[in-house]
Amino acid sequence: MESPKLFMLLLGCTPRGRFTEQHDVFFTVGNSLKDIKEEIMAFWPEANGKIHIDAWREVTEVDGYQVKVVNRNEQVTADKLFFLNLGGYKEGEFDELHYKMLAVANEKAIAIKQAKETAFYKHAGFEGATSHIDDKYGVDVDDVFEIEDILPASMKEHYMLHISPAAGLPKDEMHLGYLILSKL
């Protein structure tokens, strides 16, 4: 039997009453994109089935750490996987830019410190419009999510993440482009 994988997806739709496409990030566990279609639909019910994938990856490597999905009864590791959504601005552009990142750390404060070291955080802002972790005008641990906490409940019952140092692993492939769920 194939080992389950951790998927990170950037989902998009234009909900009723909105003028621009909206996006959200979704994490789940499965064997393939086709296998997680139901979880995607359940995650964003307001999309009324008119949802698509703009980007996705199987998360197996983050900054020199191997990420594996294991059964809930396995041994717990000290390190955790965090998702951070950084927001910033470019002078003269009517937009908020976003940088979505994963970080391995044993606590949120260390993950936030890693986010502050990124080029995006240092350069996507200017006087009066500084970079921030989204939804705040500064960095606050409330805006950092431990991946295991935001997995669908049915996945949390059965699986957990095992994170271990592993040098030399290939970087995860980023799949970019408009993918309609019906094409899976």
Task: Give the pLDDT mean for 143-156.
Answer: 92
Kindly state the tokens that stand for 148.
Answer: 């295991």
Hunting for tokens 């955080």 — which residue is that? 121
Q: In sequence order, what are the residues at sequence separation of 6 or more whose Cβ sits closer than 8 angstroms to the Cβ of residue 20?
A: 14
Say how many residues make up the chain. Answer: 184
pLDDT in tens, 42-101: 999 988 888 999 999 999 999 999 999 999 888 778 999 999 998 888 889 999 888 899
Q: Is residue 147 over pLDDT 80?
A: yes
User: Is the per-residue pLDDT at 141 higher than 60?
Assistant: no
Please tell me the predicted confidence (pLDDT) of residue 142. Answer: 42
pLDDT for 137: 54
Mean pLDDT of 97-126: 90
173 vs 48, more confident: 173
pTM of this structure: 0.91
The pLDDT assigned to 152 comes to 95
pLDDT exceeds cutoff 70 at 169: yes
Structure confidence at residue 135 (pLDDT): 66
- pLDDT confidence bin for 140, thresholds 50/70/90: very low
Residues 173, 129: Cα–Cα separation, whole Å:
32
Q: What's residue 125's pLDDT? A: 81
Confidence category of residue 1, pLDDT binned at 50, 70, 90 = low
